[in-house]
Chains A and B, each alone.
Chain A
């Protein structure tokens, strides 16, 4: 027996959780992280796949920030005209802005530059796509109801900002296609009644195209809008933890509890794995699918235009509305209001997003339901809400399709005018067709017994004597869910019992330190 301390003894002396536990203890002594940490690690996540849709958006946002930092290291936000002498020969000797030159160089001359650019672009498309899907889930299940209206509002704001920032980023390379997009944006701003001209000159620093717009878009795209979005995403998540998750009704699930997996260790493993999968899928898309080949488009020049120019998909409904709206104008009182632009590109999106903001309040008013809701609806439980949502989605989808009228006409060999008129009619009637169909389906589903539940399968086996026997298969894990006994929470620190002494005197309130 020697006096030296064995490794095992040292570990035992360090307490049950070793060096990590000690470090956390030290941190807790100074910052008091144990209480919040425990709340966070014990947060319960209901095991339903639709709760992962928002996480696609969250992790796409993380990828956007990471790849965006890389791109910002090489991109030059400048309208200064330079002559290109780079590695892409078809552009050799061409006059272009420094912004476009740096974007092309970043694609061809920077190691992994093109991959990063493509990942950034795909991540943006996926980001907004998953936000829309997440929003649809929240809407159709009624997760926006009291007490979560504020988080719904934050979500709609995030979607708006993401679309705006997507457009700003799309404009930065200053290629022929994105320049056309800026031109359209300028016209849309101009079309705002009365103040349009002043507004457009204020944004562009003078008449189109001016020399400052790329610089302004850059600072908005990389700092202002993402900064606001980061703050709102944080708030979104803080509210999520504070208000706890909603859950679908089921055995043992009530308005007052949350049944699911705890943050640590189950959900943390899931969600970390999911982060890597989202990053992996985005990287694979960046590697194998080419997006926005700006070198094929050439630099922007106000005199040049390409046909068949569409915006990125999330702006599609706006482009579609602009394309199919009839050429109406208002002249009078010394003013011209281009209604063909104002109505589809200013008033219509205002109405759609206004409706999204107002929906929780509207629904409260219509149903008179002011109660707290932590249990979700199935979409068939509320046929009217579901039908309304489907009607709006149908309208926006038709407008989205209308943004590719030329491609449809070309590929299906139909007259462009036929496609245009078809889309006009479809846009007008689609909500009125979608509403009753969705309403009827939801209503019938709601009244069907066992709809939405998994059917119990029978396993048919053949005995040795040749007899067939049908035996009900063992139930799915989902179907029998027992509420687990609360697990004892590991104690990192000794919590002192509150003494209960109340020695406030002389109007001074004493707050105990914990």
Chain B
């Protein structure tokens, strides 16, 4: 081989490597070593929008609207609640409920003091707590380990450490406006939970859960307390508006009207594409096979 040719070959090879390698190097970013922490540890300071606040024994029971009543669990349950807490929660959140289970572990688990009864109730009654895997990025919804009364008792004890709000909401869905709820849902919720309420994956193993099987109280609690990645909707949504959304979620989202036949899981074009290709085109191709080969 003449040297000129060899050089030319080498140059070509280098050019090819550069052409393929440069975009690759550009495309493969260096990942940050420390992943961000996704569990919220913020002190819940949400203040629902209202001028009139009703208090009972120094606790907020209502923000003036008749759409939602906020009930503080009875302080009489606190003693039972502490016992339950020590059995089920203290191994991570610490005996003081301050998120410090042992010396030197500050910051590993959320501080529960001052979060308000609604937050405690939501996490326990949705089955997320006690957590199956405390290291999971996001706790999934499960069958609850503790009963409703036990959840109330734990909430009562944690609330007794530092009384705070929001209390546990009872939503009056009868007077709520489902059309208003639909509009508010599209504006505030659909961006993560999808317009059909199926939920979807977000970045880095977090996800917006499906809303298909969630009781009214937990929907309202989630909106008011913002569990996990979810924003806390406080100042920008009135109790009337929250009740409207709760009604829309518990009626149209959980029992969608599918007059057109099978709902295909509310998955939209992904499921539709499968049906079109695997049912429509495939069946017709099979029929074509049957017809076309006949003589």
Contact = CB atoms under 8 A, between A and B. Distances in A.
B193 A307 contact: yes
Given A295-B257, A404-B270, A282 B280 contact: yes
Interface stretch (B52-60, B91-99, B107-115, B283-291): B283-291
Nearest to A421: B28
Contacts of A477: 295
A326 B272 CA distance: 28
Contacts of A47: 292-295
Interface stretch (B6-14, B123-131, B204-212, B235-243): B204-212
B291 to A, nearest CB: 5
A62 interface: no
Contacts of B187: 301, 303-304
A211 interface: no
Interface in A92-142: 92-94, 107-108, 114, 118, 122, 125-126, 129-130, 133
Interface string A211-242: 00000000000000000000000000000000
Nearest to B198: A308
Contacts of A303: 187
Contacts of A304: 186-187, 190-191
Contacts of B221: none
A274 interface: yes
Given A48-B293, A49-B293, A290-B261, A410 B201 contact: yes
Interface string B256-267: 111111111011
A55 B186 contact: no
A103 to B, nearest CB: 13
A416 B201 contact: yes
Given A274-B291, A293-B260, A307-B190, A328 B26 contact: yes
A118 B261 contact: yes
Contacts of B65: none
Contacts of B178: 89-90
Given A273-B291, A277-B284, A424-B27, A288 B261 contact: yes
A404 B191 CA distance: 16
Nearest to B263: A290
Nearest to B248: A90
A133 B191 contact: no
A420 B292 CA distance: 42
A164 interface: no
A292 interface: yes
A89 B279 CA distance: 33
Interface string A168-197: 000000001100000000000000000000
A305 interface: yes
B274 to A, nearest CB: 8
Given A52-B292, A129-B276, A313-B276, A94 B183 contact: yes
Contact of B201 (A51, A310, A406): A406
Interface string B134-159: 00000000000000000000000000
Contact of A270 (B27, B179, B267, B291): B291
A411 to B, nearest CB: 9
B22 to A, nearest CB: 12
Given A177-B195, A290-B263, A49 B288 contact: yes
B196 A114 contact: no
B288 A289 contact: no
A285 B201 contact: no
B281 interface: yes
B253 to A, nearest CB: 9
Report, as a range, how many residues of chain A touch the other chain: 35 or more
Contact of B280 (A50, A266, A285, A311): A285
Given A53-B285, A281-B284, A410-B200, A307 B194 contact: yes
A289 B275 CA distance: 8
A289 B26 contact: no
A410 B263 contact: no
B279 to A, nearest CB: 7
A388 interface: no
A426 interface: no
Contacts of A208: none
B279 A285 contact: yes
Report, as a range, how many residues of chain B touch the other chain: 35 or more
A306 B186 contact: yes
Contacts of A305: 190-191
A308 B200 contact: yes
Contacts of A49: 288-293
A92 B179 contact: yes
A79 interface: no
A298 interface: yes
B288 A53 contact: yes
Interface in A315-334: 316, 326, 328
A409 B201 contact: yes
B3 interface: no
B192 interface: yes
Contacts of A278: 284
A80 interface: no
B177 to A, nearest CB: 8
A290 B270 contact: no
A307 B192 contact: yes
A429 to B, nearest CB: 12
Nearest to A270: B291
Residue with the highest number of chain A CB atoms closer than 10 Å, among B178, B201, B283 = B201
Nearest to A260: B295
Contacts of B231: none
A197 to B, nearest CB: 26
Residue with the highest number of chain A CB atoms closer than 10 Å, among B257, B280, B293 = B280
Nearest to B267: A407
B169 to A, nearest CB: 22
B255 to A, nearest CB: 11
B215 interface: no
Contacts of A274: 287-288, 291
A407 B270 contact: yes
B203 interface: yes
A306 B281 contact: no
B226 interface: no
Given A47-B294, A125-B273, 9 more contacts: A49-B291, A50-B292, A126-B284, A130-B285, A297-B196, A303-B187, A307-B190, A407-B200, A419-B201
Closest 4 CB pairs of A and B: A313-B273, A52-B288, A290-B260, A125-B276
20 contacts: A47-B292, A49-B292, A89-B178, A90-B248, A125-B277, A274-B288, A285-B275, A288-B261, A289-B279, A293-B258, A296-B252, A303-B187, A305-B190, A306-B195, A307-B190, A308-B198, A310-B268, A310-B269, A310-B270, A313-B277
